[in-house]
Structure 1
Amino acid sequence: MRFLSCDWGTTSFRLKLVEGPELRVVAAATSKEGNAATFERWQQARQPPEQRLGFYLEVVRPHVRRLEEQAGESLAGVPLVVSGMASSTIGMLELPYRPLPFAANGSDLLTRLLPATAGFAQPVLLISGVKTDDDVMRGEEVQLVGCGFAATEQEQLFLHPGTHAKHVLVRQGRAVELKTYMTGEFFALLTTESILASAVESGAGGLDQPAHAQAFAQGVQASQRGNLLHEAFLVRTNRLFEKLSKPENFFYLSGLLIGTELRDFPTDFTGPVVLAGEDVLVHSYEAALRQLGITGRVASVTIQGAEAVTLRGQAAVLERAQAAGQLLAPPSQ
């Protein structure tokens, strides 16, 4: 297994050279060249539609060169696996969503192979997202695949915290239900653009600081007893009446929003839960699940890192494409 992993989101770009069965990252490059910024530049360039793919690959090319410099060798012919928003309306090439249900091993996700060319030396395997009748996700489906859900009778739940948090129910090896929660985006808006912005401040130490953990717990409790629109305003009065410091208020608001999201956790669910995402977020969700008593009634709560599940998911999709003859493995080094 050797491939270039591209996790191309709305606001960020991540490229990694991945090697071996253990999916070791041997070189990496990141930038703020997310799909939104790239699409805006594409519109400003006023190029014909048929040149759009090439425009996006020109964004990727210098990052591939950086990886070649780090690795000390040419990466021509090494497959580039791209997941995230690159297959969306603001991406390099729009692919249709695959309707739920889909196999949790990634075997039936929609993909598109873009062969290597003289201008771009890597074959590209572009992975599309999935949809229900009223919801969508792009990128998280690959992370779900990377979690390695077993094809069992017992229902399993995939929780992905983030800007747009995802809850996906897995049944008999298939993802069958999806819900999105704008928790992270609401938090960002409230802490930067609303009247609450002057009442909060990010605090060092996170939930490892007892005062922060206590404020977070207070926010989770508040989420269960009242209306979010009222409880959110109390973030302002917490500071106005000096009940909480700005950093404590920051974690209070975090607990309030995460707790509000988790009010939707199915009351009859008792199977395993997999929390997959960035460390800070998954540990906040783990604390909220524990405080709400959910941890005590489900089979287990397992934490998976965002990078690990992304790489495993991309590798699984790539292996199936190679096995089907859609993409030849790169020459051995």
Structure 2
Amino acid sequence: MSKEWIAVDWGTTHLRVWRMAGREIMAKAASDKGMNTLAADGFEPALLELVEPWLTETPTRVLCCGMVGSRQGWIEAPYRPVPCAPLAETLVRAPTRDPRLDVRIVPGLSQSSPPDVMRGEETQIAGFLALKDGWDGVICLPGTHTKWVHLSAGEVVSFQTFMTGELFALLAGQSVLRHSVDTSGWDAAAFAEAASEAMSRPEALAARLFRLRAAHLLEGPQPARACAELSGLLIGAELAAARPYWLGQNIAVIGADAVARAYVEALSLQGNSATFAKSDAMTQAGLVKASRDTE
């Protein structure tokens, strides 16, 4: 087996790869060939398009996380029930035709009551814990489907998923609010006000959302303010529902810069200080840990 290896983050809409030597990144590449764009026989060719220049005659280990291991992915990597460590001791091997590839997939996690699943976030959690040895508390992973994860003694104890990111995309792009919201703008004060309002009165969310449209019609367009208000209302309502997770806990937020910092800001409005970590870096650290633990 080659001493070099390849780390892969394969999501629903994207494919990102890193050429690794131990924990050092030697090169990287990306494409838009996420799981949703591929048939079952399309995963190996999509991977080879990016990594073939890095391969030698000796088989190269390829460690993948994300939706590539879903039922619609390359091969299903069955969920592991919590409570458990974020990473499995044994990864799932994907079938390949090219003898230069040795592809392994990180399984996701599941929860039976209430029912919930995650795929990809477990690797980010493992990366965070690898860099923060002994850390206990709650991790928030914002995204299309935001996760709140309770960690203790290095294990995922429980978690809860909120469709906040998907709701934002649907409301901003397909509802009546599409005429009022410009997702390229931002108003920090409007975000803070809306988040605090939704935290205190989450039951009024549906009525408060329509006020964004009414304000546009009566007061004129304020697209940046409307975007920030929409985000604040949805995140505030999520924080109100997730309060049992984060209240009185150590909190970390792992995500892309803009959306993760919005969560950090919303938590700070409630007097909670959260540690911020970038999702890409945590994914890489998690795959490095998987590489070392499953050699």
The answer on 1:222 being equivalent to 2:203 is no
Q: CA deviation at 1:74?
A: 4.1
**Distance across 2 between alignment mates of 1:286 and 1:158:** 11
1:215-294, aligned counterparts within 5 Å? 215-224=190-199, 225=201, 226-242=203-219, 245-263=222-240, 264-266=242-244, 269-294=247-272
Q: CA deviation at 1:145?
A: 0.3
Q: How many residues align?
A: 286
The answer on 1:57 being equivalent to 2:44 is yes
Residue 317 of structure 1 aligns with an amino acid whose one-letter code is A
Residue 127 of structure 1 aligns with an amino acid whose one-letter code is V
**Distance across 1 between alignment mates of 2:238 and 2:124:** 20
| TM-score (normalised: structure 2) | 0.89
Question: Structure 2 vs 1, CA of residues 236 and 120 (structure 1 numbering), >3 Å: closer, same or farther?
Answer: farther
Cα deviation, 1:72-95, whole Å, max 9, x if unaligned, reads: x74853311110011111100012
Look up the match of 2:148.
167
Question: Structure 2 vs 1, CA of residues 288 and 132 (structure 1 numbering), >3 Å: closer, same or farther?
Answer: same
Gaps of 5+ in 1: 43-51, 207-211, 296-300, 323-333
**Distance across 2 between alignment mates of 1:75 and 1:16:** 19
Residue 9 of structure 2 aligns with an amino acid whose one-letter code is D
Secondary structure of the corresponding residue to residue 247 of structure 1: helix
1:151/1:174 contact within 8 Å kept: no
Question: Structure 2 vs 1, CA of residues 121 and 228 (structure 1 numbering), >3 Å: closer, same or farther?
Answer: same
The answer on 1:86 being equivalent to 2:74 is no
Cα deviation, 1:43-101, whole Å, max 9, x if unaligned, reads: xxxxxxxxx4x532112111113x53xxxx74853311110011111100012110001
RMSD of Structure 2 on Structure 1 (CA) = 2.2
Q: CA deviation at 1:120?
A: 4.4
1:276-315, aligned counterparts within 5 Å? 276-295=254-273, 301-315=274-288
Look up the match of 1:112.
92
Q: CA deviation at 1:150?
A: 3.8
1:109/1:128 contact within 8 Å kept: no
Q: CA deviation at 1:118?
A: 5.9
Cα deviation, 1:79-129, whole Å, max 9, x if unaligned, reads: 11110011111100012110001114x3x36521347x6624121111110
**Distance across 1 between alignment mates of 2:17 and 2:246:** 40
Question: Structure 2 vs 1, CA of residues 271 and 118 (structure 1 numbering), >3 Å: closer, same or farther?
Answer: same
1:16-55, aligned counterparts within 5 Å? 16-21=18-23, 23-24=24-25, 26-38=26-38, 42=39, 52=40, 54-55=41-42
Gaps of 5+ in 2: none
Look up the match of 1:132.
111
Question: Structure 2 vs 1, CA of residues 142 and 261 (structure 1 numbering), >3 Å: closer, same or farther?
Answer: same
Residue 13 of structure 2 aligns with an amino acid whose one-letter code is T
Residue 289 of structure 1 aligns with an amino acid whose one-letter code is L
Cα deviation, 1:14-53, whole Å, max 9, x if unaligned, reads: 11212344x33x3222222111111xxx2xxxxxxxxx4x
